[in-house]
Amino acid sequence: MKIIILLISGYIYLFGFIDNDFDGVDDSIDMCLNTSFSDLVDKNGCPINKLYLGKLNLELIKEEQNNSNANTNIYLTYRYNNLLIDYSKDISHSSDSIIDIGYQFVTNDMIFKNYLGSVVDETYFFLSSVDYYFLHNFYTTFEVEYTMLQAKKETQLNYFNYNITLGYTLNQHNIELKYINSGSAHKTIGAYEGIDILYNYNISEKYYIKLGYAKSLKYKDDYINYFGFGVNFE
């Protein structure tokens, strides 16, 4: 038995295959992490003898802007196989809801996602992203979004956003460094440029916390601190 475990560990080290629940499905595409060793699983890593209802993720994020303004956001993400549905809202203020629906294409080391979404009664947006996993524990994400205003004024226009992320994952820890370039709907206002540093800690298979800091590259006094708590239901 020890020889088998050593051989598996050597394969993981050499080829970057990560399979913490030993079900034969890489963790980057495993939709049912931490299945029992005795369970037979399908190509998605989910037990074939159990009804799969998808995965629901709930996050509450508290943001503090420039040590003054504060708000609390709720994020809901539902995934069923490769179907993705997201919902978010600032629950501390009277704000619009954001909802989108997407689909992902998964390979051994890449994940492609495409979404169509809306800020209710205001805008529509198309979003595409690609995640690339490399060097065992590293990944990078490139994301581009095109936003269309539902009722534009003469001083407004549709705009692009894009983000580039470098991340590192080890055991329960995850850290990301993201460059953000967010366009503006107003012709006289330039794009926002900033960096975002995020740390995520998995308390258990179900619960996690995250800490983050976002800073404008143009204005030294423009920054956001945030703290979040998340729960996975599966």
Whether residue 20 sits in one domain with residue 90: no
Whether residue 213 sits in one domain with residue 104: yes
Q: Write the DSSP assignment of 146-180 as a string of letters.
A: EEEESS--TTB--EEEEEEEEEEEETTEEEEEEEE
Strands of 30-134, DSSP E: 55-65, 69-80, 83-90, 98-106, 110-119, 123-134
Whether residue 122 sits in one domain with residue 25: no
Rg for the chain, CA atoms, rounded: 20
Whether residue 149 sits in one domain with residue 113: yes
Under a CB-based contact definition with an 8 Å cutoff, are residues 61 and 196 in contact? no
Domain range holding 189?
A: 55-233
**pLDDT attached to residue 221:** 84
How far apart CA 96 and CA 164 sit, in angstroms, is: 26
Whether residue 82 sits in one domain with residue 166: yes
How many separate domains does the chain show? 2
Global confidence as pTM: 0.77
- CATH (domain of 61): 2.40.160.40
**Nearest C-alpha neighbor of 135 from the set 16, 2, 3:** 16
**pLDDT attached to residue 7:** 46
Under a CB-based contact definition with an 8 Å cutoff, are residues 113 and 101 in contact? no
Whether residue 36 sits in one domain with residue 2: yes
Under a CB-based contact definition with an 8 Å cutoff, are residues 45 and 25 in contact? yes
Whether residue 104 sits in one domain with residue 28: no
For residue 230, list its beta bridge partners: 59, 208
How far apart CA 102 and CA 198 sit, in angstroms, is: 24
Whether residue 112 sits in one domain with residue 184: yes
Whether residue 206 sits in one domain with residue 118: yes
Under a CB-based contact definition with an 8 Å cutoff, are residues 62 and 55 in contact? no
How far apart CA 35 and CA 39 sit, in angstroms, is: 7
Tens digits of pLDDT across the chain (234 residues): 445 444 445 544 444 557 776 777 887 778 787 777 667 788 787 877 667 788 999 999 999 987 677 899 999 999 998 999 999 999 987 778 999 999 999 998 899 999 999 987 789 999 999 999 999 899 999 999 999 998 777 788 899 999 999 999 999 999 999 999 999 888 888 889 999 999 999 999 899 999 999 999 988 888 999 999 999 997
Helix (H, G, I), strand (E, B) or coil at 35: coil
**pLDDT attached to residue 38:** 63
Whether residue 92 sits in one domain with residue 5: no
- Residue 178 token pair: 């993201």
**pLDDT attached to residue 32:** 81
Whether residue 146 sits in one domain with residue 63: yes
Q: Write the DSSP assignment of 184-225 as a string of letters.
A: -SBTTSPPEEEEEEEEEEESSSSEEEEEEEEEESS-TT-EEE
Whether residue 143 sits in one domain with residue 79: yes
How far apart CA 78 and CA 85 sit, in angstroms, is: 5
